[in-house]
Structure 1
Amino acid sequence: KNVVEVSVVAEIVSKLYSVSRKTRKRISVGVISPYKAQVFAIQEKIGEKYNTEELFSVSVRSVDGFQGGEEDIIIISTVRSNGKGTIGFLSNQQRTNVALTRARYCLWILGNESTLTNNKSVWRQLV
């Protein structure tokens, strides 16, 4: 898991929640990670704070858990951070496609730039 990304996700979600409350606009947020340990860490950090909100919802799931789903805003936590450019599950094109196509309006990608660009995957072109 990547604790820095967990904290950044929680901060982004908190700011989006503030915007939703101020504007009285409905916002649905999805947080996607290819790793279950990261999903659990993010769920633990966010907790149940937003579960009872009418205008704001947050769903934190793995890439596989998001297949077929869609949210207004998607935050992808890529987790991997190493000098070799080893990206593990992120190299799976089908999973990458699912993660990148779940947002209706806005997509945030959190990750280590050098790790994501130091390989021959779609992430290199995207970042």
Structure 2
Amino acid sequence: MTSPQPQDWQRRIRDLKIEIDRATSGSESLNQIDVDAPSFGLDALQRSYQQFLEWFNGIPASGKLLAIAGGGLLSLTLIKTVFQLITSLITLSVFGVILYLVYRFWILPKSNDSRIDN
């Protein structure tokens, strides 16, 4: 099995570069898309707020009323869910403390007493 000479590869690379240059110089307006890097922080928040205001001002009065009612209902549902989660965590914590105390003061001393008796 013979491998191509390094000069052949260099010549082939040069030919490809020339071919690419010809292709790009012939058509200046290639389909290029300007992509903005996603920006986070205050600028993105202000842009989102402005887009929301434009959308909100563009809908009729009855739509504004429905949007406010829907947003309020969604907010209340979200708050209710957060409170339920916090309540569940507190309940589990209290239950865990009770189980630990039962283990510590009733089960552990009985197991120590049975060891002493043997």
If the length of structure 2 is used for normalisation, what is the TM-score? Answer: 0.19
TM-score computed with the length of structure 1 as normaliser: 0.18
User: Larger RCO: Structure 1 or Structure 2 (Cα < 8 Å, ≥ 6 residues apart)?
Assistant: 1
In our comparison, the structure showing a higher alpha carbon Rg is 2
Q: Which has the higher helix share?
A: 2
